[in-house]
Amino acid sequence: MCWAWTVATAACLVGSQPAGHALADLEELDLAETCESCLAKGGGWCTTEQRCVEDDVAYCEAESLIGLAGFTDDCGSDEEGQKPHVRPWIDKGVLVSYIHENGTCCGTGIVHRAYHVLEEYTVLLQDGSKEEVKTERWNKRKPAKKKDENSEYHNIEFRYFKPQELTVLSGLRPGDLVQAHFAVKTKDAGEELVKSRRTEPAVVVNTTRTHVAVNFTSDHIVSILPRDFLVDLTNDTLAPGRARHTEL
Ligand SMILES: *[C@@H]1O[C@H](CO)[C@@H](O)[C@H](O)[C@H]1NC(C)=O
Ligand SMILES: *[C@@H]1O[C@H](CO)[C@@H](O)[C@H](O)[C@H]1NC(C)=O
Ligand SMILES: *[C@@H]1O[C@H](CO)[C@@H](O)[C@H](O)[C@H]1NC(C)=O
Ligand SMILES: *[C@@H]1O[C@H](CO)[C@@H](O)[C@H](O)[C@H]1NC(C)=O
């Protein structure tokens, strides 16, 4: 399939990322599905978040962490993990909009941390950064003195959104199997990407507000595509009775 890709626009990313990159490893940990596969990878299973994190209490409280750094490494002790898996409506990687604290509409961003038991979520402030939306109180604080900056970090007031404060614009998230158009070759390399007529199955690698990286199932070509290249059924699969929150 890759012959049809336009290299000039970098739509077809051949080859893989450098191995052993710490961040890449972490992201990979994030994608682990079950407690068992997580521990097998050397991660720790965080029961409050129902996801794989680093096996370190810095990432999950010890009493909730299954792994070498937790109180137990027995996956059977996680009752939640034994239940049939229900796909959360809001989850890490989904695109949401939210009303600003000052009442103006609206911010959009990708859900970064999802605490399913607590029903609290953090949202990335912008694409290409791990910075999360913080409270207005925090944004308006007096800046810390230089020497206090490190200790101040631990006091950051993230805005923890409740489900009713978030409107899901797209429920696509890493690991989803989707149908995606691919970019076809054009004579003029400067042109914008041209959408293929047909779609092919692909697995979502990651999401930003505007783009989704997918891994095409047929040839494992990884491509970063505009969102409209993907068949996104979020609004069609809206559960009955589940209104989108900000729509009046
Ligand atoms: C409201 O808050 C948002 C986010 O902090 C900011 O971008 C916007 O300018 C504010 N609007 C008003 C009217 O204060
Ligand atoms: C779903 O509907 C909302 C509101 O009309 C819209 O903003 C959003 O882009 C839609 N999502 C998709 C994936 O089409
Ligand atoms: C998403 O994945 C692609 C391909 O692996 C990578 O190049 C890109 O940096 C990733 N983007 C984010 C926001 O993680
Ligand atoms: C794409 O999928 C293949 C097969 O599952 C996998 O080996 C490869 O690591 C994936 N690439 C990325 C960047 O996720």
CA of 109 to the centre of ligand 2 (A): 14
Tell me the mean pLDDT in the region 68-77.
89
Give the model confidence (pLDDT) of 125-173 as tens digits.
Answer: 999 999 999 999 999 988 777 777 777 777 889 999 999 999 999 999 9
State the pLDDT at residue 206: 96
What are the structural domain ranges in the chain? 1-16+172-235, 32-82, 95-170
Tokens (6 digits) for 203: 């697995």
State the pLDDT at residue 33: 61
Q: According to CATH, what is the number of the domain 1-16+172-235? A: 2.30.30
Residue 134 DSSP label: B
Tell me the mean pLDDT in the region 184-201.
82
Tokens (6 digits) for 114: 């999802």
Q: Ligand 3 atom 13: the closest Cα is on which residue?
A: 128
Ligand 1 atom at minimal distance to the Cα of residue 102: 1
Least confident of 52-56, 142-146, 194-198, 201-205: 142-146
Q: Which ligand is nearest to the CA of 224?
A: 3
The pTM for the full model equals: 0.69
Beta strand 95-98 with 166-170 is antiparallel
Distance CA(244)–CA(248), nearest Å, equals: 9
CA of 101 to the centre of ligand 3 (A): 30
Tell me the mean pLDDT in the region 99-108.
96
Tell me the mean pLDDT in the region 190-211.
90
Any atom of ligand 4 within 6 Å of the Cβ of 222:
yes
Beta strand 43-46 with 65-66 is antiparallel
Share of the chain above pLDDT 70, in %: 78
Q: Ligand 3 atom 10: the closest Cα is on which residue?
A: 206
Ligand 2 atom at minimal distance to the Cα of residue 172: 13
| CA distance readout (Å), 45 to 52, 124, 176 | 5, 23, 20
Residues 6+ apart with CB under 8 A from 118: 48
Tokens (6 digits) for 111: 């859900």
